[in-house]
Amino acid sequence: MALAARLIDVEKTYSIGPIEVPAVRGVSLDIEPGDFMAIAGPSGSGKTTLLNLLGVLDTPTSGTIEIGGASTGGLKPKTLADFRNTHLGFIFQTFNLIPVLTAHENVEFPLHLKGISDNAERSQKVEEILEDVGLAGLSDRRPNELSGGQQQRVAVARALVKEPTLVLADEPTANLDSVTAEEIMALMKEMNEKKGTTFIFSTHDPLVMKHAVRLVLLRDGRVESDNAGEGNGHGT
Ligand SMILES: Nc1ncnc2c1ncn2[C@@H]1O[C@H](COP(=O)(O)OP(=O)(O)OP(=O)(O)O)[C@@H](O)[C@H]1O
Ligand SMILES: [Mg+2]
């Protein structure tokens, strides 16, 4: 089976006027289908940059990024957008739900983007995934009528509804209390086990790191350690 994602010697250097900021400095990683992987490391170590590269929201300065066996280099913006809609789900630190839409409508949105035109098919997928994330009965609420943890559950449902190859989450628990953070991690793990979806999330939080099956530590834009294959259940 194709890898969920592969980074080969990826570098990203930002330019601020004449100043060059090396953010990712030669990262190579094979991400297996079904990985549940945390990217940890100090502030500024390149976690968000790496997730943005994996999400094809940004392009590397050099190196290759493959998602689901397909290279993402040199694709046009429209093709990249289609690629994201098909293959990738995103979960953000600040939930990023659309405030005027209900939970149901927020989760339905990516299905519109994916071009599923059958109303009944969309509705069924949305209600199923909302039930999976424990929000059956709350589908008509708007984000401001939900708790932070419930909003993040909507965001998890929104990321999963189109059955992506890979879900990327940048500090998904940073705005949650520790009990709710544990619940969101348990939910993501459950979805990982039930649906086989690959998850990559960044975190500062040791409580979140302990849920990871695979833990990659970044320092100064490089992989400092990676426990893949160290009897951690990876690939099993
Ligand atoms: N748009 C940008 N322009 C210039 N430099 C940037 C930009 N984004 C990030 N950087 C720099 O790149 C490096 C890596 O930043 P990044 O945001 O990836 O770190 P991080 O590990 O996510 O940090 P944090 O834990 O604080 O979120 C830092 O030195 C940062 O200042
Ligand atoms: Mg960050």
* Nearest ligand (C-alpha, residue 218): 1
Q: Write down the pLDDT at residue 1.
A: 75
pLDDT band at 236 (very low <50, low <70, confident <90, very high): very low
Give the separation between CA 23 and CA 52, rounded to whole angstroms: 12
Ligand 1 neighbourhood includes 57 CB (under 6 angstroms): no
Ligand 1 neighbourhood includes 45 CB (under 6 angstroms): yes
- Write down the domain spans for the chain: 33-48+76-224
Q: Is the pLDDT of residue 234 over 60?
A: no
Dihedral sign of CA atoms 131, 134, 136, 142 in order: negative
pLDDT band at 231 (very low <50, low <70, confident <90, very high): low
For the chain, give the mean pLDDT.
93
Residue 112: phi and psi, rounded to 5, are -60, -45
Pocket test for ligand 1, best of 16, 47, 173, 209 (most atoms within 8 A of CB): 47
Q: Which of 7, 164, 165 is nearest to 73 (CA)?
A: 7
Ligand 1 neighbourhood includes 33 CB (under 6 angstroms): no
pLDDT band at 146 (very low <50, low <70, confident <90, very high): very high
Protein residue whose Cα sits closest to atom 29 of ligand 1: 44
Q: What is the assigned CATH class of domain 33-48+76-224? A: alpha beta
pLDDT band at 136 (very low <50, low <70, confident <90, very high): very high
CA of 137 to the centre of ligand 2 (A): 34
Give the separation between CA 129 and CA 209, rounded to whole angstroms: 25
Task: Report, as an integer, the average pLDDT of 176-193.
Answer: 93
Q: Is the pLDDT of residue 233 over 70?
A: no
Ligand 1 neighbourhood includes 207 CB (under 6 angstroms): no
Ligand 1 neighbourhood includes 22 CB (under 6 angstroms): no
Protein residue whose Cα sits closest to atom 24 of ligand 1: 43
Pocket test for ligand 1, best of 10, 15, 21, 222 (most atoms within 8 A of CB): 21
CB neighbour list of residue 19: distance below 8 Å, 6 or more residues apart: none
